[in-house]
Amino acid sequence: MATRLNHWLWNEMEIWDLHCHLSGVPGNTPEARLDKLLEYADRFGVARLCVYMGMEWAYDPSPEKLRDDNDQVLRALKHRPDRVLGFVYLNPKHIEASLHELDRCVRDGPMVGVKLWVAQRCNTPELDPIIARATELKAVIFQHTWLKITGNLPGESTPMDLAELAARHPKAALICGHSGGDWERGLRAIRPCQNVYADLAGGDPTAGLTEMAVRELGAERVIYGSDIGGRSFASQLAKVYGAEIPQKTKALILGANLKRLLQPILKDKGIKA
Amino acid sequence: MRPGLFTRRRFLGLASAASGAAVLRCETVSAPRHARTASALVDVNVSLSQWPLRRLALSNTTGLVAKLRGNNVISAWAGTFDGLLHKDLAGVNARLTHECQRNGRGVLRPFGSINPMLPDWEEELRRCADEHRMPGIRLHPNYHGYSLSDPNFARLLKLAAERRLIVQLALVMEDERMMHPLLQARPVDTAPLAGLVKQMPSLRLVLLNALRTLRAKPLLDLIAAGNVFVEISMLEGIGGVGNLLQQVPSTRVLFGSHAPLFYFESSLFKLRESPLSDEQMRNIRAANARTLAAAFQRRTML
């Protein structure tokens, strides 16, 4: 039974990882770090990595730092375009620079998504031009979120902030990073927003996360990601493989949902998937 | 050929062994047969009963044991979530022992909870060793409200070592950032521990859920202080086990899943993520735990 199901899983899909970084990985260049990431990815059969942010991070990056970070991801993309998809890292505190980076890396470049981290909470109106422009370009938008009982960073978004943003931009494809960290609250916060997807990456492999996400959002709104190199493929893939959900649902989460979400922009760019 | 074709197939084979379907398939495989295979595992970090804040899919012992057996676990060292907050630990430990015997199918080994802040805790320790014949005990200082500099903790270690009990010390149970607001148990501060361990050469100490907060020099100092072991359930980072083994000898690393609070597959897949030598794999999967447990077996034969 298991063999037959997994044969189906293999034939019908590839594993795509929504959430990968060049930080926390050995190597002095983006190319070397990507090669190392792919070595580990190959041990689990992960076919595609969505990569964003540079080799060293800043909470509130300057326009110059943004450009440097994005250049590093562009180098990784150029190195292995068959295995990597890129998201452009933006900072809503620098709107003009961010819109410029969006055009440079997505409109005129090979990237397919936007990454927003902790510079500014995402419910603020400063984000609106970024979201509008990204949506125009058919780019998906990944917003880091966390609900920390120990206290969020000043500019760190919550899933509730993202729900506000989603309501203002119903046509945007938004991804709730880490499912809010405290996922039992985070998943509830994004539940009514049909244009918000849950990223499973980056928290502990706590049993029940994936089952609740599927139950409350529907299988089509749940996406596997790892948050490597800070996390491991092992702990994050276990959230899907270990979950008490049907094999068909696992296939959606491990690759099919992300592929479907990215399909419009991949098609525009002529990227075969 | 698509990227990763060969490895993906192999991985899916591994994953199928970790899936619910595989659990059903492996239900008929007996523990002794597992024991003969090189892929046998000893899981030193599982818990029975109910996690206080969430219903877990494998919180029933039968389901947990089926999952463990389905993944070639021949022995699992089981504490109980009841040990975190219950004050009647005598009852908790008796139930744990009974549950391991009744539903453990020869896999579960009970590790009783001791709280050295409770009156007459020494009697609890005696019962764990003499009546329940447990191989060891499990401590939760952050849930029981004491620091490792407390004199009662030192006394507990000493008495446990005298009784040849393995001492498991859980540094944390879950990510401190997402704890319940009314139940925030900060990670245990291990600073006093190396000094204590040095004074007790016969102590065998297993740190559970340690590698989130215990790293670098404090970890190395503890490993060097005596018979101190760590398990991998909260080890993170790309190639985590391989990275750990660059600092810590493989003879001090154990397989622990933290199931059912964590998905069991997490630790299982960590053994796949890092390229490990046969010896390293053998040590982590079962050999180290067997060596540790051997002292207990000698005790029970006395």
CATH of residue B70 = 3.20.20.140
Q: Within a domain: residue B168? A: yes
User: B177: which chain A residues are within 8 Å (Cβ-Cβ)?
Assistant: 146, 148-150, 181-182
Q: Decide if B268 and A238 are in contact by the 8 Å CB cutoff.
A: yes
Between chains, do A207 and B9 touch, taking CB under 8 Å as contact? no
The domain locations on chain A are 2-269
Domain of B66 in residue numbering reads as: 33-174+186-301
Name the CATH topology of A2-269: TIM Barrel (3.20.20)
Contact A10 B9 (CB under 8 A): yes
Taking only residues 38 to 77 of chain B, the set having a beta carbon closer than 8 angstroms to any beta carbon of chain A reads 54-58
Are B238 and A229 a contacting pair at CB < 8 A? Answer: yes
CB contacts, 8 Å: A184 with chain B: 54
Digit-coded pLDDT (tens) for B84-111: 999 999 999 999 999 999 999 999 999 9
Instruction: Give the side-chain half-sphere CA count within 13 A for A52.
Output: 28
Contact with chain A for residue B9, Cβ under 8 A: yes
Nearest to B3 by CA among A143, A116, A12, A47: A47
Of A138, A49, A126, the residue nearest A102 (C-alpha): A138
Of B9, B261, B267, the CB nearest to A206: B261
Render pLDDT for B124-152 as a digit per residue (tens, 0 to 9): 999 999 999 999 999 999 999 999 999 99
* A234–B273 CB contact, under 8 Å: yes
Helix or strand (DSSP H, E) at B169: strand B166-170
Question: Which of A45, A147, A184 lies at the smallest CB-CB distance from B8?
Answer: A45
Q: Is the dihedral of CA A168, A172, A177, A181 positive or negative?
A: positive
CB contact under 8 A, A44 and B273: yes
Question: Which amino acid is present at A30?
Answer: P
- Most B CBs within 10 A among A9, A15, A40, A204, hence the mutation to make, goes to A204
User: Rounded to the nearest 5 degrees, what angle is found at the Cα of A179, between the Cα atoms of B183 and B230?
Assistant: 55
Which pLDDT does position A2 carry in this prediction?
37
Give the pLDDT score at B39: 87
Taking residues B6-19, report their average pLDDT: 45
Least confident of A80-89, B10-19, B46-55, B66-75: B10-19
pLDDT score of B275 more than 80: yes
CB contact under 8 A, A231 and B237: yes
B35: pLDDT strictly greater than 70: no
- Whether B27 and chain A come into contact, CB under 8 Å, resolves to no
Q: Are the beta carbons of B262 and A207 separated by less than 8 Å?
A: yes
Per-residue confidence (pLDDT) for residue A272, from 0 to 100 = 85
Contact between residue B134 and residue B125 where contact means Cβ atoms under 8 Å apart? no
Angle, CA of B284, B230 and B137, to the nearest 5°: 105
Cβ contact, residue pair B263, A2, below 8 Å: no
Mean pLDDT of chain A: 95
**Contact (CB<8Å) A208/B181:** no
What are the chain A neighbours of B68 within 8 Å (beta carbons)? none
- CB-based contact A236:A226 (threshold 8 Å): yes
Residue B166, in any domain of the structure: yes
- Determine the 3-state secondary structure of B289 from DSSP: helix
Residue B250 lies in a domain: yes
- Is B179 at the interface with chain A, CB within 8 A? yes
Nearest residue in B to A243, CA atom = B263
Give me the residues paired with residue B227 across strands.
B204
Q: State mean pLDDT over A154-168.
A: 98
User: Least CB-CB distance to A234: which of B4, B13, B272?
Assistant: B272
Of the partner residues B12, B181, B239, the one whose CB lies closest to the CB of residue A10: B12
Quote the pLDDT of residue A12. 55
Q: Which one-letter amino acid corresponds to residue A84?
A: V
- How confident is residue B183, by pLDDT bands cut at 50, 70 and 90? very high
The minimal CB distance from B263 to the residues A42, A45, A239 is found for: A239
When scoring B53, B263, B276 by the number of chain A Cβ atoms within 10 A, the one with the most, hence best to mutate, is: B263
For chain B, positions 207-226, list CB contacts with chain A under 8 A. none
pLDDT in tens, A53-78: 999 999 999 999 999 999 999 999 99
Q: Which chain A residue lies closest to B180 (C-alpha atoms)?
A: A149
HEC sequence for A185-217: HHHHHHCCCCCEEEECCCCCCECCHHHHHHHHH
pLDDT of residue A162: 98
Q: What are the phi and psi torsion angles at B208 (to 5°)?
A: -100, 145
What's the token pair of residue B158? 């000493």
Flag whether B96 is in a domain. yes
- Determine if residue A132 is left, alpha or beta; phi over 0 gives left, psi from -120 to 50 gives alpha, anything else beta: alpha
* CA–CA gap between residue A32 and residue A28 (Å, rounded): 7
For residue B24, give how far its alpha carbon lies from the nearest alpha carbon of chain A (Å): 10
- CA-to-CA distance for B7 and A10, rounded, in angstroms? 11
Contact B46, B259 (CB under 8 A): yes
- Residue B23 maps to a domain: no
pLDDT at A6: 47
pLDDT in tens, B211-222: 999 999 999 999
Q: Which residues pair with A114 in a beta bridge?
A: A88, A141
Instruction: Indicate yes or no: CB of A149 within 8 angstroms of CB of B177.
Output: yes
Measured CA to CA, the distance from residue B179 to residue B51 in angstroms comes to 13
Write the residue in B12, B238, B263 that is nearest to A45 by C-beta: B12
Q: What is the dihedral of CA B110, B113, B119, B125, to 10 degrees?
A: 40
- Pick the closest to residue B261 from A236, A208, A207 (CA basis): A207
Q: What is the CA radius of gyration of chain B?
A: 19
Q: Are B179 and B219 in contact (CB under 8 A)?
A: no
pLDDT band at A4 (very low <50, low <70, confident <90, very high): very low
Tell me if B289 is assigned to some domain: yes
User: What is the pLDDT at residue B295?
Assistant: 74
Asked if A45 lies within 8 A of B265 by C-beta distance, the reply is no
B236 in contact with A, Cβ within 8 Å: yes
Domain count, chain B: 1
Q: Are A91 and A66 in contact (CB under 8 A)?
A: yes
Cβ-contact A199, A179 below 8 angstroms: yes
Structure tokens at A45: 């059969």
Among A46, A207, A235, select the one facing B261 at the smallest CB separation.
A207
Mean pLDDT is lowest, of A193-202, B14-23, B233-242, for B14-23
Write out chain B residues lying below 8 Å of A181, CB-based.
175, 177-178
Chain-chain contact of B273 with A228 (C-beta, under 8 angstroms):
no
